[in-house]
Chain A
Amino acid sequence: MTNRHDGAERLFQAGRDELPGRELRERLLAIELPSERRSVWPVPRFAFASAAVALATTLLLFWPTRREPPRLAAEPTADRSAAAVTPSASEAEPAPEPPRRIAPVSSAEPPAPRVAPAKRPPATLPTELDSLRRVRTALAAGDTHAALDELDRYDRELRGTQLRAEASLLRIEALSRRGDPAAASRLAAAFVERHPHSPLVDRARTFLAAPAATGSNTAEAPIPSQ
């Protein structure tokens, strides 16, 4: 009975001792907090000021367009063109062409879009996974160029954050396989320093001042499941 209890306690203790890697905290603290708070915590005054400025800017940008919405060719206008169709004619028989949007009367040319392009949000987890899977496929095929291109895309276009450590390790492997062990070693050293408790750290250590990695190492490059 005592042995059984001790055995159970040993298992429970092992469970208690398990901790998440430090990277998890970074991931959690990177979660974007919705800015629209309503009740519990007070909203600082500058938030109202920012909202007012944003509203004013929006009105300045959109107000003229809203006051003069684009007119249809069939609508009566002050400057009606010869091609415009009168209402009676359009009722009598189908117009030869569907109505087309024309520029606002006050504009000589279609206005350029005034809205700044929306900031692209970072990629979702499935998108990041797909990207890193492409890296791994390229590495497995020996195409380090394509692998590094995809990793660049992961960094710049996807702005991946959730699988950052995995991407770093894949870059180390790609560099090593490309025959650049010095660069791989430098990145590996940085990885070990930055992620000392990562589950991937042991693998990163294998690239420290090491010659080019083996194919099997690459084939096992980690990508966590979704």
Chain B
Amino acid sequence: MVATSTFGSALDQPGTAAADVRDFRKIVDEHASFIWRVLRRLGLAPSDADDASQQVFMIFAQKRDRVPEERIRSFLYGSALRVARNFRRGVERRSELAREFRHAGGADVGGPEEQAELVEARDRLDRLLSQLPEPQRRVMILVEVEQLEVAEAAKLEGIPQGTAASRLRLARARFGDLLAALEREDRERSP
């Protein structure tokens, strides 16, 4: 059975063992935030990241029999990259309403000023990341934002560790240059 469009509560599914549901819940709790943030940093608006996360976990739900436990994260990550690619492809077609959520996503706490700063910082982060070549950008997200070890990032990306380290080095240098240019513009604009 392929559950592409049915959304009964997992806990109420009569043909599903309770252990399955518990396992699935655990996987959601362990990986959902990571996947959502990766999708965000790959350029998806919060509401799109929600939808894309749902697609990722639906793909996993269908194929989880074939995913060994130690490969769950890389499976989810790989699915997220593919789903993000499709979302980005269709982004021009989608309504401007997505942008409405762009500044409202996440579950942040704090006052309005702090919120505004965070939103601004994330916008800036995403703008800079989007100017990196895609492979460098992904390694950068995994290491700098998600704080994974280079070895783990390499594993998720399916590349040798040396390649990941090289991409990270290039990405850091490029990111630093872009940020410096942006800060220079800020200084020039400010009185």
Q: Which residues of A contact B (CB under 8 A)?
A: 3-5, 7-8, 10-25, 27-41, 43-44, 47, 50, 121-125, 161-162, 197, 199-200, 202, 220, 222-226
Main secondary structure, interface of B, reads helix
Name which residue of chain A comes closest to B57, CB basis.
A28
A216 to B183, CA, bound (A): 37
Please give the distance in Å from A70's CB to the nearest CB on chain B. Answer: 30
Could you jot down 11 A-B contacts, CB within 8 Å? A12-B145, A15-B121, A18-B37, A20-B53, A28-B28, A29-B25, A32-B13, A32-B61, A43-B17, A225-B94, A226-B94
Query: Are B10 and A24 neighbours in the complex by a CB distance under 8 Å?
Result: no
Say which residue of A5, A15, A200, A222 sits within 8 Å of B145 (CB atoms): A15
Please give the distance in Å from B132's CB to the nearest CB on chain A. Answer: 13
Q: Which residues of A contact B145 (CB under 8 A)?
A: 12, 15-16
Name which residue of chain B comes closest to A122, CB basis.
B7
Take A29-B10, A224-B47 as given contacts and tell me if A34 and B3 are in contact as well, using a CB distance cutoff of 8 Å: yes
Q: Top 6 nearest A-B pairs by Cβ distance?
A: A35-B15, A14-B121, A225-B94, A224-B47, A225-B98, A199-B104
Which B68-84 residues have C-beta < 8 A from chain A? none
A30 to B12, CA, bound (A): 9
Please give the distance in Å from A6's CB to the nearest CB on chain B. Answer: 10
A121 to B146, CA, bound (A): 37
Q: Which residues of A contact B65 (CB under 8 A)?
A: 37-40
Query: Are A25 and B5 neighbours in the complex by a CB distance under 8 Å?
Result: no
Please give the distance in Å from A13's CB to the nearest CB on chain B. Answer: 8
A217 to B58, CA, bound (A): 34
Q: Determine whether B165 belongs to the interface, using a CB cutoff of 8 Å to chain A.
A: no
Name which residue of chain A comes closest to B32, CB basis.
A28
Please give the distance in Å from A24's CB to the nearest CB on chain B. Answer: 5
Query: Are A15 and B20 neighbours in the complex by a CB distance under 8 Å?
Result: no
Query: Are B24 and A41 neighbours in the complex by a CB distance under 8 Å?
Result: no
